[in-house]
Amino acid sequence: MKTAIILAAGKGKKMWPYNDYWPKAALPIGNQGNIVHLVNHLKSLAFERIIITTCYLSRRIKSLIYDVEGVEIIELSATEGTADTLEKVVYDLQDSNLFILYGDIFITRERLSSFIEAYEKQRETMDAVILSKPIENEHAQDWFGIKVGKDNRVENIFGHPRPHYVQERVMGAFALNTNVLKKMLNHNPGFMKSVPTGVMPQQEVELEQCLQWLVEVGYNVSSYPVTDGVIDMDKPWHLMQANHLAVSEMTHALNNNEIHETCEIDPTADIQGHVKLGKHVKIGKYVTIKGNAVIGDYTKIDNGVIIEGNVVIGSDCRIENYCRIGPDSVIGNKNRIGHCAEFRGVTFDNVSFIHFGEVFGIIGESTDIAAGVTVGITRFDDQPQTQIVNNRKEFPEEFGNAVYLGDFTRTGILSLYMPGIKVGSNCVIGSGVAVEKDVPSKTLLYNKQTLIEKNWGPHRYGW
């Protein structure tokens, strides 16, 4: 199997506020676009031809991999779904087997390798293998589900089923016989017909319906269930999960220090783990790093900064003056984080957060966090925070209480954000505003202050 197709054409509406400027495949994971991770993994596993299909905001993807050898980009003017996209590209392919990957899954190289190896071992007897994950604490109705029988043989694939229908969920990676793929694409009715009675499918040409046809007519389809190493990035909190997984992979790979000869580390710095430092990194006075860290070129960390655990920090950053970075955080390139600011989560590039405040969540590209901005993370009833996505109540398995600030947004001093708030791109949040519900993109939100003015002076004190 030498050819892979990465499907990266969708609009990713459920990823709002990060779909305004990003196709999901381009979103930064560990300071690198997800599509770059996928391409690098495939090339390291000896794939000779990698085809990427794009449509929505395709230039963002092209800008990330334009000079990578062996990668072809097919830009579509429109697509009606994953199977429709495949129909436009597969009929000229000659390889006997294909690997198909959704561009919005983050997967470790180890997990990807094990899946491909499993298919290679059984491709003489299996027409298709689906990467899957056992459903445990997740809501089955959020996903495509799989009912499995003996030896992981797929018995049914359902679209957004009730929990008792399925044991596993589709994770967005497929290995299959090319001729079988071409045949099954012709049998798609134009929507996910395989749904439990009462479930309402959308008009989208789904690959999963093609696979269901294979099952129904007697082809051999199996699942390959995994419990870790892959995140399906569908909603904002999945972006946080993917970055956590990336931090874990990148920092746990450090078994010793990798420090460029141009780096400076002050004698007063307390580094308790291993570090990988790029060119001209400076670790200054009284900096504390309580875990492993990967830090990019020309970044300066100085004057009492506390880093609470494993982190990934980009290039050209200034992190200084007693600020605190929480564990498992990813700090983007060209960030400024300063005096007593406390942050945990993910920042994109060019974020500024330079005075005080406490933020937990994801901060979009070129967003300004003003002095005293505070994020609440605990409800008064101590219950998990729900989220609203596409007018539907969601129950995140984790990170539902984080704040999600979109790209190119400005926050006013002392603005407050309740648990789980999402703020769109190109927004302005006024000073002192308590944000209690999601803010649409391109919104100015401010308080209309009521002032009481009275006469006052020494006469008030009996003079």
Q: In whole angstroms, give the CA distance from residue 99 to residue 5.
A: 6
Partnered with residue 248 across adjacent β-strands are none
Phi, psi of 358 (to 5 degrees): -145, 115
pTM for the full model? 0.95
pLDDT tens for each residue of 58-69 = 999 999 998 898
Q: In whole angstroms, give the CA distance from residue 10 to residue 355.
A: 38
Q: In whole angstroms, give the CA distance from residue 104 to residue 433.
A: 34
Q: In whole angstroms, give the CA distance from residue 3 to residue 204.
A: 25
All domains in the chain, ordered by first residue: 3-234 (3.90.550.10), 245-445 (2.160.10.10)
According to DSSP, the β-strands at 71-75 and 49-54 are parallel
Name residue, tokens 């017909």. 193
| pLDDT at residue 306, as a whole number | 98
Structure token pair of residue 327: 């564990």
Partnered with residue 171 across adjacent β-strands are none
Along the 463 residues of the chain, how does pLDDT read in single tens digits?
799 999 999 999 999 999 999 999 999 999 999 999 999 999 999 999 999 999 999 999 999 998 898 899 999 999 999 999 999 999 888 899 999 999 999 999 999 999 999 999 988 899 999 999 999 877 878 899 999 999 999 999 999 999 899 999 999 999 999 999 999 999 999 999 999 999 999 999 999 999 999 999 999 999 999 999 999 999 999 999 999 999 999 999 999 999 999 999 999 999 999 999 999 999 999 999 999 999 999 999 999 999 999 999 999 999 999 999 999 999 999 999 999 999 999 999 999 999 999 999 999 999 999 999 999 999 999 998 999 999 999 999 999 999 999 999 999 999 999 999 999 999 999 999 999 999 999 999 999 989 999 999 999 999 9
